[in-house]
Amino acid sequence: MSTASVANHDAAHDHHDHEHHDNFVTKYIFSQDHKMIAKQYLVTGMFWALIGGLLSILFRLQLGFPDMDMSFLRPILGGWIDEAGKLDPTFYLALVTMHGTIMVFFVLTAGLSGTFSNFLIPLQIGARDMASGFMNMISYWLFFISGVIMFISLFLKTGPAAGGWVVYPPLSALEQAIPGSGLGMTLWLVAMTFFIASSLMGGINYITTVINLRTKGMSFSKLPLTIWAFFLTAVIGLLSFPVLFAAALLLVFDRSFGTSFYLSDIYIGGEALPNTGGSPVLYQHLFWFLGHPEVYIVLLPALGITSEVIATNSRKPIFGYKAMIISLLGITVLSFVVWAHHMFVSGMNPFLGSIFMFLTLIIAVPSAVKVFNYLTTLWRGNLIFTPAMLFSIGLVSFFISGGLTGIFLGNSAIDIQLHDTYFVVAHFHLVMGSASFFGMIAGVYHWFPKMFGRMMDAKLGYVHFWITFVGVYMVFFPMHYIGIAGFPRRYYSWTNFEFANMYTDLNMFVSVAAIITFGAQFIFLFNFFYSMYRGRKASENPWRSNTLEWTTPIEPGHGNWPGEIPAVYRWPYDYSKPGAEEDFIPQTVPLSATPESNLPHEQELVKVELEIMKEEEEVLVSNETSH
């Protein structure tokens, strides 16, 4: 006990020393402060979201208007638009590949976990900073390097990687296969290696911090659900990213050193390649062992943010706190044993398929628990519709509508029909893409006051929400029909197929909706940057929330709390407690200070609490005198 508190004192002194030495470079660029690193992740993530979104608009133009003259895009795309004003088919493949890679890894992994794990973990558990600020800084800069490499690959003469975001061999392993499998693929692999290193460093830091640096009283049973979600996300990443590294390593050997891990008996132009004995399905196993947990790496932080935002803005304790934790744990464990449901039609043993089908369908249970808990938290709450709250409710909506289609896709028999169609695209864009994106946006609206000391404009937030929410459904709902009709993914054009004619209008509709939805994001961008400088000044606790971050100064400095780190006495969800004066009781308020609202068994605990507080005071006094 005593050694721990001495260590805390030392840490506090260290931070005070640092504060005087901040210059522009150490404050804004090579910062080791978790809050600045979080903002770096956020802004980089927003940059990538714009790029990723723009790419999707480009290929949506092709899909919705296959006869369109795209000459006007020549200033950006140059040679990728041919003489007749048509988009180059190989570049179309590159567009979908890069859209997927950027959105999954750079936006919804780095941009989401990177931002909110960094920002909220120390603030909500009561720590001065991450366990290793230096490693945290390295983590961001590795991500940055990874991004630079990926960005450069967009401008290669042969184009960026084009084998789909899953980069299956042999397509990705053979340079002769498509232009994108040349240098673009090499850069993709290099960029991903940096990205994996960055994620692992970040993850190690998050786990270490959550386990070792919690403030007094912050037991695991008093952690906000955000922290539980970030913690388990980091655990998933720690276990799955190394496997992607192993898969990528073998792919590199196949591509550049001539080994045959994934290649066997391939003929190109009538010539047999020397590779023999490899197995492309092996790559799929390795890839999806990361690939499926990755879905939850993307989703869990968003669910955590939603839990917090919904409880705060319903002015009600989260329904089933313990059930929420158990379902998070359940999802974490199950995420590792369902990967082969991506491979039902890969030629895998069908008996294996039924096992994976069974395991996959079990995931519906913890997911449903979470959905019901969100709904029951909202039920008869004093709802306050802040933009963050709207986006959180939007997340719940997407999670339901996208999750239901997952039950179909998880069936190995139905998957034979639906595999690699737009039905799959619709499913994962709703349940994983849009839901996580909404969680991220909700987080930005909710914690913007803590990040920048100002409020974002709520009216613009409402406009942003409604256009985006309706827009997302307009884009992805029709895709279910297109998918059931048999439209395969990643096809440049369907004009050669008779059956496709009757869906031309629907595809056009989707494209228009996508453009409008993408356009609405500029409202958010304007709101974000405008409010950063001109927004209304925030108060200390604008959402009247219980968690620790709102006990810091409005713009917390390096070290977060100017004095002692506050101790925690209660769980984070004491909203509208019967008998209490206010409709919220922050975690730092001892039970002994709220006799009017304590439940009988809490009254018992007050006695214990008072004793401990007395001891604490004695320790403090002796520390003061010894200093």
Partner 1 sequence: MEKELKYVDMVEQPIAMHPKKFALWLFLVTVVMIFAALTSAYIVRQSEGNWLEYDLPTIFWYSSGIVVLSSLFLQYAYSAAKKDNLVGLRSGLSLAVLFGVAFLVSQWYSWVALVDENVFFVGNPSGSFLYVFTGLHAVHLISGVIFLIIVLISTYRYKVHSKSMDTLEMATTFWHFLAALWLYLFMFLLLNH
CA distances from 70 to 73, 76, 162 (A): 6, 11, 21
Burial (CB < 10 A; 0-12, 13-18, 19+), residue 112, is buried
CA distance 378 to 388: 14
Determine if 238 is a binding residue for partner 1 (CB under 8 A).
yes
Angle CA(291)–CA(109)–CA(450) in degrees, nearest 5? 155
First to last CA, the chain: 17
Q: Which stretch binds partner 1 (CB under 8 A): 138-146, 294-302, 534-542, 605-613?
A: 605-613
365 neighbors 311 (Cβ within 8 angstroms):
no
Q: Which is it for the CA torsion 516, 521, 525, 526, positive or negative?
A: positive
Of residues 67, 84, 221, 271, which one binds partner 1 by CB under 8 A?
221
Nearest distance from C-beta of residue 574 to partner 1, angstroms: 9
Nearest distance from C-beta of residue 349 to partner 1, angstroms: 10
Give the side-chain half-sphere CA count within 13 A for 142.
Answer: 20
Site mask, partner 1, residues 556-595, x = CB under 8 A?
-----------xxxxx-------------------x----
Task: Residue 296: name the closest of 460, 494, 414, 431 by CA.
Answer: 431
Nearest distance from C-beta of residue 120 to partner 1, angstroms: 18
Determine if 214 is a binding residue for partner 1 (CB under 8 A).
yes
Determine if 167 is a binding residue for partner 1 (CB under 8 A).
no
Nearest distance from C-beta of residue 358 to partner 1, angstroms: 20
Determine if 253 is a binding residue for partner 1 (CB under 8 A).
yes
Determine if 597 is a binding residue for partner 1 (CB under 8 A).
no
Q: Which stretch binds partner 1 (CB under 8 A): 283-291, 351-359, 371-379, 412-420?
A: 283-291
DSSP 343: -
Of residues 216, 454, 480, 558, which one binds partner 1 by CB under 8 A?
216
**Count of residues engaged in binding partner 1, rule: CB under 8 A:** 67
Of residues 176, 212, 495, 623, which one binds partner 1 by CB under 8 A?
212
Name beta bridge partners: 267: 272
Determine if 219 is a binding residue for partner 1 (CB under 8 A).
yes
Determine if 243 is a binding residue for partner 1 (CB under 8 A).
yes
CA distance 441 to 433: 12
Cβ proximity to partner 1: between 199 and 468 the closer is: 199
Per-residue b/e over 419-434, b at no fewer than 16 CB within 10 Å? bbbbbbbbbbbbbbbb
Determine if 289 is a binding residue for partner 1 (CB under 8 A).
yes
Side chain identity at residue 115, one-letter code = T
Cβ proximity to partner 1: between 89 and 320 the closer is: 320
Determine if 272 is a binding residue for partner 1 (CB under 8 A).
no
| DSSP codes joined into one string, 281-336 | HHHHHHHHHHHHHHHHHHHHHHHHHHHHHHHHHHTSPPTTHHHHHHHHHHHHHHTT
- Radius of gyration of the chain measured on its C-alpha atoms: 26
Nearest distance from C-beta of residue 38 to partner 1, angstroms: 19
Of residues 39, 99, 222, 292, which one binds partner 1 by CB under 8 A?
222
CA distance 311 to 314: 5
Give backbone dihedrals phi and psi of 588, rounded to 5 degrees, phi first.
-85, -5
Task: Residue 561: name the closest of 588, 590, 593, 594 by CA.
Answer: 588
Of residues 250, 363, 440, 455, which one binds partner 1 by CB under 8 A?
250
Of residues 277, 350, 562, 595, which one binds partner 1 by CB under 8 A?
277
Of residues 413, 416, 599, 620, which one binds partner 1 by CB under 8 A?
599
Determine if 4 is a binding residue for partner 1 (CB under 8 A).
yes
Determine if 213 is a binding residue for partner 1 (CB under 8 A).
yes
CA distance 109 to 198: 11
Of residues 147, 202, 278, 471, which one binds partner 1 by CB under 8 A?
278
Cβ proximity to partner 1: between 238 and 364 the closer is: 238
- Tokens 């009757």 belong to residue: 502
Give the number of other Cβ atoms within 10 Å of residue 280's Cβ: 18
Task: Residue 232: name the closest of 140, 315, 298 by CA.
Answer: 298
Determine if 608 is a binding residue for partner 1 (CB under 8 A).
yes
CA distance 33 to 610: 35
Determine if 248 is a binding residue for partner 1 (CB under 8 A).
no
Chain positions contacting partner 1, by CB under 8 A = 1, 4-5, 131-132, 135, 200, 203-205, 207-209, 211-214, 216-219, 221-222, 238-243, 245-247, 249-250, 253, 257-261, 264, 276-279, 282, 285-286, 289, 320-322, 567-571, 591, 599, 601-602, 605, 608-609, 612-613, 616
